[in-house]
Structure 1
């Protein structure tokens, strides 16, 4: 988890890992949709922007990516990620970076080195339009000069406001219509059993995302509705997922140069 919330997440890496396995939504929808969009990663260099505890960097390496790097501003998350990777014998690079403010002189450890950039629930934590564009610039600069793809999951700007809409899936939201300085105020996302998480994502509009991505140098932006894996349907049935798929809390995007 990158950016202004970085220090909030420093001591929460273990809880973050537990949440990944405690919520079926994360495996059956989030991971399934993300890896479908990423496609085969064998032999590719992949950057996880806002890698948090390293959950997805480890999976990417296990799927055959030739090189995996995770960046985050929360040192506690990075420490946990390094320990887990070492314990599992995985060669993964973790770097401390403030991705909302890429250096004007460039970053030789990141720029032009990757075939794919992935990011899960990170861009929605940009507190300002400028910070959002910074995230996008970091992703664009990281891709190889000959091209590449940026795949991310973010908060659905049209997230359901009806109380209890997502309770069935282990999450819930408190939505405020208030704005601050003309920009959308954050929504409060609650995860029962994980009250220690200060989850305050911003409901940036699709247009705002697209403007930031184009400004950063991406040419094409395609929005993707989340999908449920066959395993998720087998485990819980189609009806279980009906409300979520009608108004999901997250949307996914595939961006190309």
Structure 2
């Protein structure tokens, strides 16, 4: 988790990690969809943009990525991520970076070093259009000059506004009204049992995401609907997932240079 939430997340990394693994939605839908998009990572250099507690960085290293780097603006998260990686015997580099504001002079530890950049619920925390474009520029500049992919999960711009739509899946939203131009409309996200995390993602429109990504240098932008794993269907049944798949709280985006 990156940007502007340092005071929220410092010291809460362990609880954040538990939240990331406690909800069936995150394994059966989020991880299933994300890893399907990432594909075979063996031998690839991967950047986790807004790595938070390092959960996905560790999994990508275990899946055979030759090098994994995680960046985040929150030192409490990075410290936790480093300790967890060390305990698991995984060689992962973690760097403190403000990804919304890539330095004009470049960043030799990131620029042009990666085959793949991924990010999970990070771009939707950009509080301004400029910050959103900054995230996209950091991702683009981190990819190798010969090309690469940026894959991310973000808040669905068309999030369901019906009260209780997502409570069946362990999450809930209070929807704020859109601003005058329809942008920067925050939605308070709550996870029952994790009251220390009242999250405030922004509902940027598809058009704004696409403009920011293309401004950063990505040629193609493809939106992907989430999928439920066979295990998720076997455990909970198809009917359980019907509301979620009709209007999911998150969508996935695959970008090419």
Give the TM-score normalised by the residue count of structure 1: 0.98
Alignment match, 1:253: 253
Deviations 1:118-162 (A, max 9, x none): 000000000000000000000000000000000000000100000
Q: Which SS does the other structure have where 2:136 is aligned?
A: helix
Shift of 1:14: 0.5
Alignment match, 2:106: 106
Q: Which SS does the other structure have where 2:4 is aligned?
A: helix
Counterpart CA distance in 1 for 2:26 and 2:178 is 29
Change (3 A) 1:109 1:180: farther
Shift of 1:8: 1.2
Shift of 1:10: 1.0
Matches within 5 A, 1:62-211: 62-179=62-179, 183-211=183-211
CA contact (8 A) 2:183 2:205 kept: no
Counterpart CA distance in 2 for 1:164 and 1:107 is 44
Backbone CA RMSD of aligned residues: 1.0
In structure 2, stretches of 5+ residues that fail to align are none
Give the TM-score normalised by the residue count of structure 2: 0.98
Alignment match, 2:55: 55
Counterpart CA distance in 2 for 1:217 and 1:37 is 20
Counterpart CA distance in 2 for 1:147 and 1:83 is 32
Deviations 1:84-126 (A, max 9, x none): 0000000000000000000000000000000000000000000
Shift of 1:180: 7.0
Number of residue-to-residue matches in the alignment: 257
CA contact (8 A) 1:8 1:198 kept: no
Alignment match, 1:25: 25
Alignment match, 1:240: 240
In structure 1, stretches of 5+ residues that fail to align are none
Shift of 1:23: 0.2
